[in-house]
Amino acid sequence: MSGKKQRITPYFIISVILLIALAIFFLFPLYWIVTGSVKEKSDIIIKAGESVKWLPTTISWDNFARLFKSQTTLFGIGMPMALRWLFNSVFISVVAMALTCFSASLAGYALAKKRFWGQGFVFSLFVCAMALPKQVILIPLLREMSILHLVDTTWGSIFAVIFPVVGWPFGVFLMKQFSEGIPSSLLEAARIDGAGEVKTFLNVALPIIQPGIGALAIFTFINAWNEYPLQLIMLSKSEAKTIALGIAGLQSEMSNDYGLIMAGAALAAVPIILVFLAFQKYFTQGITMGAVKG
């Protein structure tokens, strides 16, 4: 990063002040969720003539206690419904992530490094579908899933959310970009050594495209976690809901219990933020790679 050192000019100082003000504006909702979730009722209600409680006067876990009141079971283990929602969110994101990384890295490798009949057609199909808005397929998707009887059961409907996320062609596109970087000479050498197709992929291609898989994994995880419209139409049973859907339900049922809603929002936001912070580097890489004009 040498050679483009930041000069300190009045413009730079004004920019930094503005940026910090904006950062506060962007962080504030998050701060308001986290503090709101541990505030007592009297701190949450803003009364005329009283000052706003910017900080909780006392830390109270009462909101979480109400959030965890409704119980359910999972694999025979009793647990609060809200944790079941959290489990569903994690399950959907992890399974979608694993399936996407598996299918997209194989497909991207084939599209980048092999020459076969129909290649151009298959690739343009993926690219064209990517340019279309994914929400317009929601209604026919629900009909397809009911024909397949997936929406009738809790687990079925959970997979009805996973499959379309996996099918979305962005991953194939991203992995094709990464696979272009595999030197063909290495693949040729492996072939001459008598390695089979699968072995060549595992030993030669996989180590090279690994950063790409990392980027795709974190990208898919967060996308699946936040795929709200799809969750909304597929998941109707309470046991099948994700944390986002659960919170949305709480908001429409108990719209005035802000403490409870903030506790739910904290439960939804904090885990995914931790995941993001832990894998931030891969994420930035994934966003930038995906945008490389192809």
Partner 1 sequence: MASTSAPKRSLVLQRRETVVSYLFLLPALFFFVGFVLTPMAMGVVTSFTDSSFQNTNTGSSFVFLDNYIRLFQDPIFLKSAVNTVVIVVVAVPTVTAFSLWVGSAIYKMHAAARSFFRCVFYLPVVTGSVAVVVVWKWMFDKYNGLFNYVIRAMGGEGLMWTESEQMALWCIILILFTTSIGQPIVLYVSALGNVDNSLVEAAQVDGATDLQVFWKIKWPSIMPTTLYVAVITTINSFQCFALIQLLTSGGPNYSTSTVMYYLYEIAFRTTKEFGYADAMGVVLAIVIALFSALQFKVMNGGTTE
Interaction with partner 1 in 168-187: which residues (CB under 8 A)?
168-169, 171-172
Q: Which stretch binds partner 1 (CB under 8 A): 63-71, 75-83, 207-215, 284-292?
A: 284-292
DSSP helix/strand/coil, 150:
coil
Q: Chain centroid to CA 91: how far?
A: 12
Place of tokens 């413009």: 11
Query: Of 76 and 243, which CB lies nearer to partner 1 in the complex structure?
Result: 243
Taking the least distance from each CB to partner 1, the nearer of 64 and 258 is 258
Q: Rounded distance, CA 44 to CA 37, Å?
A: 9
- Cβ nearer to partner 1, comparing 68 with 163: 163
Residue among 63, 67, 85, 164 that touches partner 1 (CB under 8 A): 164
Torsion angle (degrees, nearest 10) of CA 282, 246, 265, 65: -130
CB-CB contact of 224 with 92 (8 Å): yes
Q: Find, among 138, 139, 185, 147, the residue nearest to 165 by Cα.
A: 138
Nearer to partner 1 (CB atom), residue 65 or residue 125: 125
Q: Which is nearer to partner 1, 77 or 198 (CB)?
A: 198
- E-strand ranges in the chain read 71-74, 77-80
CB of 93 to partner 1, least distance (A): 11
CB 68, CB 82: distance < 8 Å: yes
Of 55-63, 66-74, 79-87, 246-254, the window that binds partner 1 (rule: CB under 8 A) is 246-254
Query: Using alpha carbons only, how large is the chain's radius of gyration in Å?
Result: 24
Give the per-residue contact string, 9-48, with partner 1 (x = CB under 8 A; - = no): ------xx-xx--xx--xx-xx-xx--x-------xxx-x
Site for partner 1 in 71-100 (CB under 8 A): 99
> Is the CB of 190 or the CB of 245 nearer to partner 1?
245
Task: Provide the token pair at 119.
Answer: 């290649």
Question: Which one, of 45, 85, 71, 90, lies nearest residue 225 by Cα?
Answer: 90
CB 58 to partner 1: min, Å: 19
Residue 212 binds partner 1, judged by CB under 8 A: no
**Selected binder of partner 1 within 114, 149, 199, 237 (CB under 8 A):** 114
Cβ proximity of 220 and 96 under 8 Å:
yes
Q: Determine if 291 is a binding residue for partner 1 (CB under 8 A).
A: yes
Nearest-angstrom CA–CA distance, 29 and 179: 40
User: Which parts of 128-147 interact with partner 1 (CB under 8 A)?
Assistant: 129, 131-141, 143-144
258 touches partner 1 (CB under 8 A): yes
